[in-house]
Structure 1
Amino acid sequence: MVPLISEYGPELNLNAVCVTSLFRGFYLGCPVLESLAVKQCRDDNVNIFTIKVPSLKSLVLDKSGFEDTATAPGFMIDAPSLERFYIEDDSKGGFCVIENEMPNIVEADVDVAYYPGNILSSITSVKRLSLSSITSAKDAYPVGTIFCPLVYLEICTFKTEWLNVLMRVLKDSPNLRALKLDTLYHYEDDDDDNRPSWSEPCSVP
């Protein structure tokens, strides 16, 4: 997946952030900030990275390189004006909690190892969605979530559970028009018993 490129105005890029309180205050002191990119490193001392920016329209969160980490820093997001959202999180114990709905989301790229938090249920207004590194359908989002505006879905077939999530998103996206299956990765286990099996759906968008 390629991070979303911002086309917005005031922009800030942070790399290896180490002082939570300093940057939380800094965000609140930027009332016109529209684009933010944050890359966390393994030696960061931030346990919960809070992003509270009402004016923010584009957000990139990069926490790649945490694959073997059982516990990792998490994100708390309060950005109700967000239009584009990209998150990459390889950690096993990380989380991302969105405090308020983001009704203006148009494009999102969610590349996470697990789904602790409420990422997908907070971006139901999304029109273009990319999903990768999925664990299971039941962990993806709560029952009853509907992606009415979604017209384009891209899903990576990296984990064996990708098909279960695909079938669920198809059911919950009544206006979907385009589907792309991305086979950039090989299966971790070549055992045929672990491969997902296709079952003809009763209905499709």
Structure 2
Amino acid sequence: MDEAISHQSQARTHLSFRNSINRVFALQSGLPTKKLSLKYHIEEDSEIAYVCPWICYAVEQGVLELKVTIKMTHSQLSLPCELFTSKTLVKLTLGTGINLAKLPPDVSLPALKKEDLCNVLLSGCPVLEELFVRHEDYIGSPFYISNKIIKKLSVHYDYESEFDITMPCMSFDAPSLVSLDYSDLALSEYPQVNLESLVKARLDICYSNMIERPDVSSLVTGISNVETLHLSPASSDVISRCVGHGLLLPLFDNLVNLSFGSKNKRGWKLLPYLLRQSPKLETLIIQDLNAYTDDVSLPPNQMKVLHILGYRRTAQELEQLKSLLTEFECIEFVQVDVSEEDDGIILQATKDLMMLPGVSVSSKCHIKITHCAS
């Protein structure tokens, strides 16, 4: 009885929602639609008949930005063909519960510059500049992304379950790409990594028991011309494992800004090697100083800026910071972001850093303590 009442209540809610959408479209009849964000949970297949006309209406009205997030209980939504021949669409975002397996042969989105898809329509987008690919708890494509003009690429694969990966490799062929944000398992192979224009890279690749011996050598070499590099703790651990198996780090000849984190001794051992391979490095961001091991000897360098995130003001962190400041003799600016928003803690942290025993900080060095929002 309760289940029947609940089902009737949900049905009334869905009916009210559909009526509201229809009224909005009726009031806007003949007026251009700049943005449409549609988020809908389809519980019965019969409800699909309502969604596609809404999308077609938006396309007819010259929509510029369209976001469709559909959750379906039993199947996936096939989008109307009209969507893929829009002459006005500039930004398109589609969720995972959408089937793009059967695309029309005449896909053409000539104005599309930003694409946020779990399945990709690269060939029909001649002016595409930004691409976002996300899969959560799902083995999805693509395993090969190729585009000659794309400038910004984000690829996030988040696996919550253990999967049997049949294609444990990934390739990037994007010679005009400037920014890469890549989050994934560390895969067995990266057959092609053509990123000759890359300026900024963020890597969050993690080790998995599903892939016993990942090989990230081509990926690391492919991003070695960047000016800014962010390595998550998981990435540092993976690359350090690969170094242990024979990986030789390339020269990061253009690297100026490095954000580095690690949660174990193996990962921290990568840092001095990376510093030696980065002759122009000026700024180092440490993501979690509490995990730093001071038995890792850092090479002499011309580092100018040291930025510490998530500082908790523990005795261990003070010792680690003392060790770092001793290593970096040319440091000009030190910024420490404390974890807690407390003026007293910030003031005490400032005193601690100014009075570190055994550390001679240059008079030119400026120390700044700030609160870092978690």
Shorter-chain TM-score tier: 0.7 to 0.9
Equivalent positions of 1:110-121 (< 5 A) are 110-114=203-207, 116-117=215-216, 118-121=218-221
The CA deviation at 1:35 is 0.4
Say whether the 8 Å CA contact 1:103–1:124 is kept in structure 2: no
Of residues 130, 154, 164, the one that matches 2:269 is 164
The CA deviation at 1:38 is 0.4
Hey, what does 2:301 align to over in structure 1?
204
Hey, what does 1:35 align to over in structure 2?
130
Hey, what does 1:79 align to over in structure 2?
174
Say whether the 8 Å CA contact 2:133–2:155 is kept in structure 1: yes
The CA deviation at 1:157 is 2.0
Q: Tell me how far apart the structure 2 counterparts of residues 98 and 181 of structure 1 sit (CA, whole Å).
A: 31
Q: Tell me how far apart the structure 2 counterparts of residues 183 and 67 of structure 1 sit (CA, whole Å).
A: 27
TM-score by length of 1: 0.73
The CA deviation at 1:11 is 5.0
User: Share of identical aligned residues, percent?
Assistant: 22
Of residues 195, 200, 207, the one that matches 1:102 is 195
Q: Tell me how far apart the structure 2 counterparts of residues 99 and 21 of structure 1 sit (CA, whole Å).
A: 28
Q: Tell me how far apart the structure 2 counterparts of residues 95 and 21 of structure 1 sit (CA, whole Å).
A: 30
Say whether the 8 Å CA contact 2:240–2:269 is kept in structure 1: yes
Residue identity matched to 2:158: S
Hey, what does 1:130 align to over in structure 2?
230
SS at match of 1:38: strand
The CA deviation at 1:150 is 0.3
TM-score by length of 2: 0.43
Hey, what does 1:146 align to over in structure 2?
251
Q: For residues 3-54 of structure 1, what are the alpha-carbon distances to aligned partners after superposition, in whole Å with 9 as ceiling and x for unaligned?
A: xxxxxxx655454377679656x312222211000001324454x5221111
The CA deviation at 1:201 is 3.7
Q: Tell me how far apart the structure 2 counterparts of residues 142 and 20 of structure 1 sit (CA, whole Å).
A: 39
Residue identity matched to 1:84: S
SS at match of 2:273: helix
Q: For residues 59-90 of structure 1, what are the alpha-carbon distances to aligned partners after superposition, in whole Å with 9 as ceiling and x for unaligned?
A: 0011124474463764321111110000112x
Q: Which runs of 5+ in 1 are unaligned?
A: 1-9, 188-194
Alpha carbons of structure 1 residues 67 and 153: separation in structure 2 relative to 1, 3 Å: farther
The CA deviation at 1:106 is 1.1
SS at match of 2:285: strand
Q: Tell me how far apart the structure 2 counterparts of residues 11 and 98 of structure 1 sit (CA, whole Å).
A: 30
Hey, what does 2:356 align to over in structure 1?
none
Q: Tell me how far apart the structure 2 counterparts of residues 146 and 137 of structure 1 sit (CA, whole Å).
A: 16
Higher CA-based Rg? 2
